[in-house]
Structures are given as C-alpha cells and as structure tokens.
Amino acid sequence: MSRPGAAGGAAQQGGATPGFARGRRLRGTPAMRRWTAQTRLSPADLVLPVFVKQGISEPVPITSMPGVVQHTQHSLRKAAHEAAEAGISGLMLFGIPGDKDPVGSQADAADGVVNVALQQLRADLGDELVLMADLCLCEYTDHGHCGVVTPAGVVDNDPTLDRYAAVAIAQARAGAHVIAPSGMMDGQVAAIRAGLDSAAHTETPILAYAAKYASGFYGPFREAAEGAPQFGDRSTYQMDPPNADEALREVAQDLAEGADAVMVKPAGPYLDIVARVADAVDVPVSAYQVSGEYAMVEAAAANGWVDRQRAILETLTAIRRAGAGSVLTYWAVEAARWLR
C-alpha cells in the first residue's frame, strides 16, 4: 500500500496526502468496479451436471436440490437446448439405470440410459455443447460402490479398471466429447486412455476428477443419482479432507497417465486445493461445485437468510478467483442468464 518515503500515518487517517493509492477511489461506481474487476464470470465458464433416469415419464424433482430434476430423455433434450441457448460450455451427464447389478452392466450397454442420452444429444446439438460423460459405476451397481467389490465387500481396483475402459469406449461411441472418470481408482486414467485408443477414440480427451475428496457435501447427489453405498463408505478410495499435498500427487499421477484436463471436487470448501492445482499445472482446471454446496445456499435463501442471486454469484466468482478455468454447477444455466 504505502510507497517508499510516504508517511504511513496519513494513509490511516484517510489518505489525504497526494501520492497515496486509496482502495476506495476505484470502487466508487458500478462501472468503476466492473472496469477494475480482476475476476470475470461468463457463461462459457460454466458446465451443467444433469441426471437422466430410465423408465420415468415425467421429470422427478430432487427434494434436497430444489430446482434440479432427474430428467426423462425428452426433458433432457429440452434442457440441453436451453443450456446451449444460455451460452454455457457443456453438460456433465449422469445416468440412473432401470436395473442395477454387481458390475454395473448398464453403464456400457449400448441401450443404457446415459448412452442413449449421449446419442440423442449429439444428434440434436452436434458440437454446440461439450458433452461430458461422468464415468463411474456407483449409479449402476446394486451395492452402490464406484467399482466392483470382492466377496469380502472391498472395492477391487484392477477388475474395476477393465470395467471403466469398457464404459469409456461405450460413452465415446455414443457421442461423448469428453470422458470424465470420477471413481478414484488407481490407474483409471491410463486404463481408460488405453481403452479409448484401442477403439480408435484417440481424439477423445479425458477430464480426470483428479482431486476428489470423500466429502459430506455429496449427500444430496446420492438422492439425485441413487448411488449411495449400501455398506461402508468411499473413504478408502476418495481423498481424506485434511490432505492437500496429496491432491498435487493425484493430479501429477493423472497427468502422467494421460489426463488432458483435471478437476478438483468439491469446490467451495477446497479453494486452497483449486489454487494450488491451478498454479501447479498447465492444463485446464475445472472445479465441481457439488450438490451440498448447492443445497446449502438454496436452503438459506429459501429461509430469507441470504440473498440468493448474490450468494450464488459470489460462490461462482470465488471458485474462478481461486484459479478454476471452468466451474461445474447446478446453477449453470440460471447464472449464465444473469451474466449475459
């Protein structure tokens, strides 16, 4: 703040001395604040996660996420058109199958719910939006874990990798522009890259959920995606919240395995991780503002405890300010409309 030779006392008294930079000089009008804003938020920064469910004829509201639904194929197509119109960059697709089994067969079935959705959206929209396919088994397995499990109930890393590779190929074939593995198995990026390359999908990039924490903020998502673990939890494969350096190791590992872009998740409670990852890498960094972050603001706003629009835009700006190039958020379309 103070320049060499300047009298510090004058600044504290209100900066009357010529030559002092004053914070308030640059904050006087909305136009001045817009001019000096260091972080900008625009529709292209946003990606909308969407849920599509098999066997429903009307969209099903998710009670813990007011405003978010499980889509039918039809309502999803409509929502995708609206997203394109609002100018956001892409969609992250999650499927909820009619049938679940121990290996999550519906994840890579050609007529599986998400693969049908990808085909239709790609046919409808071409390349207008980036269609990202979340790649995990938890929505598709009857036990709700992100991989296949041993008879003892432990998630079995390497057999899961074979499943992930098969799912990636099915999603790319169905029309996904980006494959986004979120299961946190060791070696998943390498296995998926090899699978995609073997099926002539060498041009399909991988957005790795590289630093994904075992978070309490996923609660509402488990209602939305119907993928809550039926026993145990995910703390043996997702990261432990106290750890930060480990996030950099996970990111470095995923990049070494061939990830084209990386993600930090959740976003708001992990802005330090977003900042460190953004500083450390030279690939695009996304941050996922998860279901619990959404639900908290919606609940507070519904009670009149925070100004909804202001709080939403502040959270999104903070995630961008920390260094994320792109933000996955359930408010993507609504926020994009505010920002145009």
Residues forming contacts to ligand PBG in the complex (CB under 6 A) are: 134, 136, 138, 146, 182-183, 218, 221, 234, 290-291
Min CB(102)–ligand PBG separation in Å: 17
Kind of pairing between the strands at 69-71 and 46-53:
parallel
How far is Cα 274 from Cα 39, in angstroms, rounded to an integer?
Answer: 15
Min CB(251)–ligand PBG separation in Å: 18
Q: How far is CA 27 from the centre of its chain?
A: 33
Min CB(220)–ligand PBG separation in Å: 7
265 is catalytic: yes
Q: Select which of 53, 78, 100, 212 is catalytic.
A: 212
Q: Which is nearer to ligand PBG, 48 or 146 (CB)?
A: 146
Q: Which is nearer to ligand PBG, 134 or 254 (CB)?
A: 134
212 is catalytic: yes
Min CB(289)–ligand PBG separation in Å: 8
Report which residue type is found at 27.
R
Q: Which is nearer to ligand PBG, 95 or 195 (CB)?
A: 95
Question: The tokens 């057999």 sit on which residue?
Answer: 159
Q: Which is nearer to ligand PBG, 15 or 266 (CB)?
A: 266
Q: Which is nearer to ligand PBG, 11 or 167 (CB)?
A: 167
Phi, psi of 128 (to 5 degrees): -65, -35
Min CB(144)–ligand PBG separation in Å: 9
**Residue 308 burial (CB < 10 Å; 0-12/13-18/19+)?**
middle
Beta strands in 166-223 (DSSP E): 178-181, 207-212
DSSP letters for 108-153: T-TTSHHHHHHHHHHHHHTTSSEEEEEE-STTTBSS--SS-B-TTS
C-alpha torsion 88→52→135→255, nearest 10: 10
Contact (CB, 8 A) for 56 and 63: no
Catalytic residues: 212, 265
